[in-house]
Amino acid sequence: MAWRVCSVLIRLTGEEVSRSSVRGGRWPHSFQQRCGFRKATRKPEPKKVEEELGPPHTETSEPMVHRRTSTPPGPTREFGRLLKPLVFTVGFTGCSFGSAAIWQYESLKSRVQSYFDEIRADWLEKLRPQKRGDFRKEVNQWWHSLSEGQRTVAGIIAVNLAVFCCWRIPSLQRSMIKYFTADPASRTLCSPMLLSTFSHFSFFHMAANMYVLWSFSSSAVSMFGREQFMAVYLSAGVVSSFVSYVYKISSGRFGPSLGASGAIMTILAAVCTKMPEAKLAIIFLPMFTFTAGNALKAILAMDTAGVLLGWKFFDHAAHLGGALFGIWYILSGHELIWKNREPFVKLWHDLRTRGGPGGGGDRGGAV
């Protein structure tokens, strides 16, 4: 908007200079040198002067009309930019839960085979001579000592750490800003909604988010399961980014956002809604404990105040959107989405075992 306002001011200033010069009967000497005039200036004819100046009412109305056509797009046109992010949010959420259902199906199907593989591996391990100080064995022992939730979150932390290192490469700065920061004013709208969930520029920001995610990982994964947890986490990142888009466009406060806070708020809100009587504590003040339900109320109140008062330190709209998505999923989303996955899983089972509709399964049934 700044350059449009400047252009209008320059145009109006130029008109005023020309009018004052013409009315005086001669052009300024400096203006003549810039335009290359060397001959003596001629006094403009009255008819031409009247045509250029025109009546006062016409002069004031023409710039106003021109200014209306050059004003930035209104709210209706700005909200039109939310159509693609909305379609992306709905489509990505559906694909996330569909992929999670297929992942769970394949995991259950291969569990029996993996059980026999583990028995054979243990039998071969007893026959092999034991190695002392084997680094790989120690890493495996440490990995298997973690809970399923901690192992799941470890992969998310690794991705966040890799993206954090990419921010430190100067040649990647332009690409990182384009694809790993979510801003509704950017030309790239959809992919940053997901990629910004794994993006942190500050090490303290990343460390704080990953610590909270690690703390709630065991409870969340044991409550959802590994597959459903990943679907909820990825969908929450996109949903919170979309809520941030809506707030920025409606308030006119544009700016890039990044971080996993929106997705983590969904996990935190889901756990607190499911277990409101669980005891929580702050890392720096472990002596003060409070219930998960009270913690969730305080977080919702703070983010709501941040949205209403326009606080800019955090993306409170993304935090609030992620928390509301987590509450909604526990209260009704789980029953609406995850409990109704059986028809989709059955369709995948038929496609996988029969080779698709009209495949070998149908021919075998006919025989």
Active site residues: 261, 319
Alpha carbon separation from 64 to 16, 49, 55, 71, 175 (Å, rounded):
15, 22, 15, 11, 41
Residue 187: strand, helix, or coil: coil
Q: What is the DSSP letter of 199?
A: -
Cα–Cα distances (Å) from 333 to 13, 104, 194, in that order, read: 59, 18, 20
Please tell me what DSSP assigns to residue 116: H
Residue whose tokens read 């145009």? 11
Classify residue 314 by its DSSP letter.
Answer: S
Nearest 10 degrees: CA dihedral of 208, 178, 307, 247?
A: -150
**Element at 20 (helix H, strand E):** helix 2-24
Here the tokens at position 214 are: 């690690």
CA 109 and chain centroid, separation: 34
Structure tokens at 342: 């059986």
Would you call 257 helix, strand, or coil by DSSP? Answer: strand
Q: Fill in the amino acid letter for 123.
A: W
Q: CA 275, CA 295: separation in Å to the nearest integer?
A: 12
How many Å separate Cα 250 from the centre of its chain? 17
Tokens 């489509």 found at: 91
| Integer Cα distance of 344 and 346 in angstroms | 5
